Amino acid sequence: MKEVQILATGSYVPDRIVTNDELSTVMDTNDEWIKTRTGICERRITTGENTSSIAAKAALKALESSYIKPVDLDLIIVATATPDCYTPSTACIVQDIIGATNATCFDISAACSGFIYGLNIAYQFIKNGAKKNVLVIGAETLSKILDWNNRSTCVLFGDGAGAAILGCGEEKGLIEIHTGSDGRGANLLKCNAASVDINNKDLKEKIYGNTEDVDKSYLTMEGREIFKFAVKAMGETIDTLLNSSELTIEDIKYIVPHQANLRIIDYMIKKLKVDSKKFYTNLQYYGNTSAASIPIAMDQMNREGLLEKGDKILLVGFGGGLTWGGTIIEWTINKNK
């Protein structure tokens, strides 16, 4: 049976940098609070771009660094909480931009765990022989759904996109994958779908009766509850992956966590009793980019030359849903490819 491998990675972040100091000029916050509570120093914000365009830029970077042509892709999965539209899917729009005319395309909704869920779906399609070359993208323009009047959430997030092309080969690639969900925590981190907006009050009452509008479509989060969930989900996911792969933490060169908060990562470093260098972080520069955070980090590690063929890395994410997931990957890409 062929193995499922990551063949190439790519990422894209918008040029516009918004620092903590800049935020403190427009709202009641400050660099010290944001840095000490989260580790975030700055984030990227899209100006005039939507999720599909930044997703396509990340995809093109992955394609450029592989031997795969857009027409060779037979499946495109976009994980996003901030799609361009209800329909069509962001994946279909990306397909058109990059010219992947032979691909089947769809989006998935699993918040910050979305890229891991996407890898899992890609793995199943490739392993059972249904698809050969699969593009998985995590992309977000979270700045569009933030309540910029709520300092507890808006300082935490940023925009960006990361991509990976998966295919099959002889060497071991994706070794183990685990995902889970718990809808009982659905209200802890959410963004409502857009409410119906009919300007004509009489017409609106005739259709809907005298009902209240649902909440506006902003991202809301119970930060402390999510923090507790995050450390539990990360710990359990790492344990599950190590147990089922019969590997130890020493076998793992890098852990690539969802980039939400440095304090969550510090907690995991202490719990696992590992060197802090084992955890890759870049949230200082990008904030929390939800589904994009893990693939952006993985692409940066790849491009910075941190990953050697044969290294084992562990990706782990958690987020709204509630959802969580992780994977252990044996790196199969030659350095500087």
Question: Which among 86-94, 130-138, 222-230, 237-245 is the span making contact with ligand UT7, rule CB under 6 A?
Answer: 222-230
Q: What is the footprint of ligand UT7 within residues 60-119 (CB under 6 A)?
A: 112
Question: Which entry of 105, 112, 168, 191 is annotated as an active-site residue?
Answer: 112
92 is annotated as an active-site residue: no
Q: Which of 193, 163, 161 is closest to 289 using CA atoms?
A: 161
Nearest to 141 by CA among 209, 52, 228, 222: 52
Least Å distance between CB 124 and ligand UT7? 25
Beta-sheet strand order (sheet of 174-181): 174-181, 323-330, 312-319, 254-257
Which of 16, 35, 151, 172 is close enough to bind ligand UT7 by CB under 6 A?
151
Taking the least distance from each CB to ligand UT7, the nearer of 80 and 95 is: 80
The minimum distance between CB 269 and ligand UT7, in angstroms, equals 16
What would you measure as the largest C-alpha separation in the chain, in angstroms? 67
Q: Are 27 and 270 in contact (CB under 8 A)?
A: no
Does position 155 bind ligand UT7 by CB under 6 A?
A: yes
User: What is the x/- site pattern for ligand UT7, positions 250-269, by CB under 6 A?
Assistant: ----------xx--x-----
In angstroms, the CA 272 to CA 49 distance is 40
Residue 226 as a binder of ligand UT7 (CB under 6 A): the answer is yes
CB atoms within 10 A of CB 181: 15
Q: Is 330 exposed, middle or buried (0-12, 13-18, 19+ CB in 10 A)?
A: middle
33 is a site residue for ligand UT7 (CB under 6 A)? yes
Work out whether 29 is an interface residue with ligand UT7 (CB under 6 A): yes
Nearest alpha carbon to residue 77 among 45, 43, 120, 128: 120
247: number of Cβ within 10 Å:
16
Of 230, 242, 265, 329, the one binding ligand UT7 (CB under 6 A) is 230
Cβ atoms of residues 186 and 321 within 8 Å: yes
Stretch that binds ligand UT7, among 61-69, 139-147, 152-160, 196-204 (CB under 6 A): 152-160
Do 126 and 166 form a contact (C-beta atoms < 8 A)? yes
Tell me the residue nearest to ligand UT7 as measured from the CB. Answer: 223
Site for ligand UT7 contains 288 (CB under 6 A)? yes
* Residue 178 annotated among the catalytic residues of the structure: no
Sole window of 41-49, 53-61, 226-234, 266-274 interacting with ligand UT7 (rule: CB under 6 A): 226-234
Residues engaged in binding ligand UT7 (CB under 6 A)? 29, 33-34, 37-38, 112, 151-152, 155-156, 189, 223-224, 226-227, 230, 260-261, 264, 288, 290, 319
Catalytic machinery residues: 112, 258, 288
